[in-house]
């Protein structure tokens, strides 16, 4: 549960920074509640919709050597804007794709700084003696 809340806050920070960097992505207001709602919607979409879309577009992902995943991330961000009820507005798909790239980079940096990608230093492998 702790990791979920931390990732939710990381997504909220990434959305805030991305909206302030890119002129094609707009927030209705910069309140913490709005950012957390958008981050929650994005998290649900990434957990439920993104795996299905990725699986259905697998041939295209393979054909483009994985570059189509960037488009899928943009589509998920665009879907988040659609479902957010006007809290997040994205001008067009190109801004969504660029926003997905920037949010991915920000999220990756923050997760590594907070140690969410680590396995707590435990690299041992237990072998059963039986």
In a domain, 92, yes or no: yes
In a domain, 124, yes or no: no
In a domain, 125, yes or no: no
The answer to whether 95 and 73 are in contact (CB under 8 A) is: no
Burial of 49 (0-12, 13-18, 19+ CB in 10 A): middle
The answer to whether 90 and 96 are in contact (CB under 8 A) is: yes
Q: What is the pTM of this model?
A: 0.85
Q: What is the pLDDT along the chain (130 residues), one digit of tens a residue?
A: 788 888 899 999 999 999 999 999 999 988 999 999 999 999 999 999 999 999 999 999 999 999 999 999 999 999 999 999 999 999 999 999 999 999 999 999 998 898 776 555 555 445 555 5
In a domain, 30, yes or no: yes
Long-range contacts of the stretch 46-52 (C-beta < 8 A, 24+):
46/76, 49/76, 49/79, 50/76
Number of domains present in the structure of the chain: 1
- Structural domain of residue 98, as residue ranges? 2-114
């Amino acid at each position: 549960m702790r990791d979920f809340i931390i990732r939710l806050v990381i997504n909220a920070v990434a959305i805030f920074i991305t909206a302030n960097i890119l002129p094609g992505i707009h927030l209705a207001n910069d309140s913490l509640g709005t950012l957390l709602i958008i981050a929650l919607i994005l998290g649900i979409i990434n957990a439920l919709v993104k795996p299905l879309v990725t699986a259905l577009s697998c041939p295209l992902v393979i054909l483009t050597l994985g570059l189509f995943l960037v488009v899928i991330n943009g589509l998920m961000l665009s879907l988040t804007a659609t479902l957010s009820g006007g809290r997040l507005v994205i001008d067009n798909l190109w801004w969504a794709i660029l926003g997905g790239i920037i949010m991915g980079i920000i999220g990756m940096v923050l997760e590594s700084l907070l140690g969410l990608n680590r396995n707590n230093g435990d690299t041992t492998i237990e072998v059963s003696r039986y």
